[in-house]
Amino acid sequence: MSSEQRKIRIAVVFGGRSSEHEISCVTAGSVLSVIDPDRYEVVPVGITRTGNWVLASGDPENLRIDPATKALPSVSEDGLELALPFDTAGQLMTVSPSRGTERLAEVDVVLPLLHGPFGEDGTIQGLFEMMGVRYAGAGVFSSAAAMDKVFMKAMLVGNGIPTSPYVAITARAWETERKKVLDDIAELGTTVFVKPARAGSSVGISKVRDSGDADAVVAAVEAAREHDPKVLVEAQVVGREIECGVLESEDGGTPDVSFPAEVHVAEGFDFYDFEAKYLSTSGLTIPAEIPEEATARLRAMAADVFEAMGCEGLARVDFFYTEDGEVLVNELNTMPGFTPSSAFPQMWEATGVDYATLVERMITTALRRSPGLR
């Protein structure tokens, strides 16, 4: 087959060094199961927890949560040929004891199905930019700003988009100004949530019921710091958790927004933490049962957030909807989960975009962008 006739070659990159390694693997398995093999040639590339790139199995069955044991998949280094990042011609390189280093294939587009630091935070996007390789999702700055919840909040406030009150804790402030930090946290209100500033999938989050209890706050901050030296503490917002999926427009116009979904946390869970999200019966109501006016406002605000943060491709925007009708932005995910239980594909399914079409759209919007500055 000539180069003009060959299939579009996609590198599906998954795993990674963050605490969300396993969820990235599950996401990759779901995506790999629907990519059209008649149109695309897939090169599955796993990144181990230590940061090694390896040529991985593209079998979706190897990348799913075991229904019996709840065991999570991961990328193993054992017995796999190492892959190196792209050269300046957009080609993957491989290295093996028998053949040494050689070019593997020219890649047309990358699906970086990575969650959390070293994947969703602009770092790997910067690598793709330097190598001149097209990739799906937000660019370097948008990825970094959305991943860091402190900068995300600052950008939202600067664009007139409401979010909950918060205190940001840097490593320096925690070591040298702890009393002031604790005093500021106590001013947020009785109940607060403490979370890593640059993590997702509800990893490392604690709910503190008495913000004036210094010991409880310190314990929660230290738990968050196990995942990130930078910590965000937010005032509790009493309201319903509503999410919207956003897709880059196919015609260059205003972003498309899904029907909103309401999150229902399973019985026995205090809030939507990792186990409640992935390993429980927590569910969604789609469309969310809220007034029509509120639905329109949420969807419009989701598009505003997408554009204010400079997003591309796809994103999920999470909101709080209070009893008095106030809407506050909670978080923005520039590479939302694609697992079977993830909200993003479920919202689009209800809106009329099935899973395979969703993945196809992610690929095609990435392919139409030219490498380099946008």
Strand partners, 283: 264
**Exactly one of 19, 20, 206, 282 is catalytic; which is it?**
20
Helix, strand, coil tally for the chain in percent (to 5): 30, 25, 45
Which residues have a Cβ under 8 Å from the Cβ of 324 and sit 6 or more positions away? none
Our answer to whether residue 341 is catalytic in this structure is no
Which residues have a Cβ under 8 Å from the Cβ of 203 and sit 6 or more positions away? 19, 20, 116, 196, 227, 274
Q: In what order do the strands lie in the sheet with 109-112?
A: 100-106, 91-96, 82-84, 53-55, 40-47, 8-15, 109-112
Q: Characterize 189-219 residue by residue with b for buried, 16 or more Cβ atoms within 10 angstroms of its Cβ, and e for exposed.
A: eeebbbbbbbbbbbbbbbebeebeeeebbbe
The token pair that represents 79 in the structure block: 């017995």
The token pair that represents 293 in the structure block: 């006016």
Complete DSSP assignment for 31-91: HHTTS-TTTEEEEEEEE-TTS-EEE----GGGSS--TTT-PPP----TT--EEEPP-TTSE
Query: In angstroms, rounded to a whole number, what is the distance separating the alpha carbons of residues 313 and 315?
Result: 7
Can you tell me which residue has the tokens 């840097």?
170
**Exactly one of 24, 30, 142, 201 is catalytic; which is it?**
201
Query: In angstroms, rounded to a whole number, what is the distance separating the alpha carbons of residues 335 and 358?
Result: 13
Can you tell me which residue has the tokens 């809106």?
351
Q: Give the residue among 121, 99, 103, 100 at the shortest CA–CA distance from 112.
A: 121
The answer to whether the beta carbons of residues 140 and 39 sit under 8 Å apart is no
The answer to whether the beta carbons of residues 314 and 306 sit under 8 Å apart is no
Can you tell me which residue has the tokens 């992610």?
362
Query: In angstroms, rounded to a whole number, what is the distance separating the alpha carbons of residues 356 and 354?
Result: 6
Q: In whole angstroms, how large is the CA radius of gyration of the chain? A: 21
Our answer to whether residue 20 is catalytic in this structure is yes
Residues noted as catalytic: 20, 201, 342
